[in-house]
Chains A and B, each alone.
Chain A
Amino acid sequence: MNDDPELDALLGDVTQTIEDDLEANVGVPDLLAVVERAHRMDASVVPQDAVDEVSTYASVISLGQARRLRQSRNDEAFDGIVREVRGHVDQDIARALGTAPRAESPQQTEAPWYRKWAVVSVAAVALLSIGVGIGVLQSTLLSESPADQPNAVLHSPRPDDEETARFKRGDSVNRERPAVSPETRTSQEPTQEPSPEADTTPAPKQPDQVLGKKSRKKSRDNRQRTALNETHAQKLDRLEREANGAWKSGRHADAASTYRKIIKLDRRGSWAQSAYGELFTLQRQRGKSVVALWRSYLARFPKGRFADDASAGLCRRASATEKVTCWTKYLDSIQEGSFRQQARREIEQHTAEGTP
């Protein structure tokens, strides 16, 4: 009776389709929506206190956890894409600096000494030419105390610059910051992060011209230039470790302040996004509102990795009169958003209630 290979084959296709769908969308656990709904069903069993409590839980996954999850996954395809993007970025940078692309593998990095020197020297020349600009900018940023001006950067986003820079650097792929050691990261940062001002760099010198200098001095200069390049990334890494450490040891205000410093310093965005993610969680843990933080995040990263959560969070906290507009905007701007079901339900509910 059940021996029906044709039917089984067709059902196999059906099952595969569902499995593909499940793989693409495993569903988004939304505890707050569940508890709110339960509260509406029976407030005597699920009181408002429970809703309030759950609303303090982080809806945004901690990046520390996210990194651990990514580390546990063996995603060769993704790694391949990242490598490709890195390759393209390196080529672009090399073109801009008039050098050969940076080698990726450890074996390839064992290039002849003169080539390494040529690359570094030309980069150094380029850096010198933009050094004044960067120096002024960095010293300005570093001199600002986040404690004094907690929202200074948050209120002065430069979304256009940021988006343009991210696009140039292929940062859309790097949004999921790969879990690499600080050493690896710092060695990548300089080549991955040419300043926009690099476009104004004079034509790079030919390796022949550079090779004429004394090798010992060159080597020292080389190290100095590299150190100059690495400082920014190393600083960000150190700050992140400090912030995490402060958080772990219960110094929440220090941690928040340091995350804000990272947001201020990181013009690229990947560190800043991480810091935002941690701040969302930390602020909730501290019982502080994250609304302003969500707004500042969205202003800077309208398509960022937390845009979905931040947008939905703002809509949830919108006043009754603003909810419909907010959720409608959410549906329009984040078409594949995780909270689209809730958005539709809220719009339906508030429209039925006659709320504008």
Chain B
Amino acid sequence: MGGTTRPGGVPKRAPLPIGDEASLLARARSGEMQAWASLYQTHFPRIFRHVRYLTGDTDLTEELVQESFARALVKLPSFDGRATLSTWLHGIALNIVRNHWRSLRSTETAHERLHRMNIASEAAQAPMIDDTHLCRKKAEAVYAILETLPEHLREAFVLRDLEGNTPAEAAALLGISAGNLSVRASRARERIRKELERLGWLAPRTETAS
């Protein structure tokens, strides 16, 4: 069939052969909706996954992915083909996620969340909480911390450490060098670790080191 399944079980369509994609793109740009439908189906799973990792929220992801493809369709006539369609779509999705983050920007909100995470981390000590619940709480904690980070650190960390892209892949998606990407991801890790220690999710590193 040509489709592959990633470890998480998310079906991932095999990318279209370049020739096919180019001809579909040309047809889509001339307004042929069938061609756009085909491109949309091919790229939807990966964009959905990408945005899901960036936002940490499934419902929000559905909304932002829909907006991403709608915007892509509107911008399609101006797509110059210098980047691949996949990179271009990822870029649009990333911009929409950034806009969403900015619309929510409020340190108060982020701190409120972290406060809630603090309570949650205490609850996590209780022995009756099962593994799944605990993992979910960890995810909530990490995403709450991510909200307090600057965008450029947040993106680098998500793309590199959570989504599991190679430095080169993550750097290409962000349009920066691989070195720069690694620096950002590393800084993000440091800050996330400190917060996780403060919230009681991780033991201070000094203990581990000694």
Q: Which residues does A use to contact B, with CB under 8 Å?
A: 1-2, 4, 6-7, 10-11, 13-23, 25-31, 33-35, 37-38, 41-42, 45-46, 50, 53-54, 57, 72, 340-341, 345
Contact = CB atoms under 8 A, between A and B. Distances in A.
A38 B71 CA distance: 6
Given A21-B52, A54-B33, A4 B73 contact: no
B164 interface: yes
A19 B5 CA distance: 12
B62 A341 contact: yes
Contacts of A340: 59
A23 B139 contact: no
Given A23-B9, A41-B71, A46-B74, A10 B66 contact: no
A31 B40 CA distance: 8
Contacts of B8: 18-20, 22-23
Contact of A30 (B49, B52, B66): B66
Contact of A27 (B48, B201, B203): B48
Interface in B180-210: 186, 189-190, 192-193, 196, 201-203, 205, 208
Interface in B1-58: 1, 7-11, 31, 33, 36-37, 40-41, 44-45, 48-49, 52-53, 56, 58
Given A22-B10, A35-B33, A10 B62 contact: no
Interface of B: 1, 7-11, 31, 33, 36-37, 40-41, 44-45, 48-49, 52-53, 56, 58-59, 61-63, 65-67, 69-71, 73-74, 76-77, 132, 134-136, 138-139, 142, 161-162, 164, 186, 189-190, 192-193, 196, 201-203, 205, 208
Nearest to A21: B58
Contacts, number: 126
A1 to B, nearest CB: 6
Nearest to B44: A29
B193 A7 contact: yes
A22 B135 CA distance: 15
Q: Among the interface residues B74, B189, B190, B196, which one has the most CB atoms of the partner chain A within 10 A?
A: B74
A27 B61 contact: yes
Contact of A10 (B7, B70, B138): B138
B65 A27 contact: yes
Contacts of B69: 34, 38
A319 B164 CA distance: 46
A29 B62 contact: no
A57 B56 CA distance: 32
Given A14-B139, A41-B71, A7 B189 contact: yes
A54 B162 contact: no
Given A17-B139, A19-B10, A23-B10, A41 B62 contact: no
A4 B205 contact: yes
Nearest to B12: A26
A34 B70 CA distance: 5
A14 B142 contact: yes
B120 to A, nearest CB: 14
> Which of A1, A30, A31 has the most chain B CB within a 10 Å cutoff?
A31
B196 A7 contact: yes
B70 A41 contact: yes
A26 B41 CA distance: 12
Contacts of A14: 135, 138-139, 142, 162
B74 A42 contact: yes
A46 B74 CA distance: 7
Contact of B139 (A13, A50, A57, A72): A13
A345 B63 CA distance: 9
A1 B186 contact: yes
Nearest to A342: B66
Nearest to B61: A27
Contacts of A15: 162, 164
B44 A27 contact: yes
A345 B60 CA distance: 12
B91 to A, nearest CB: 17
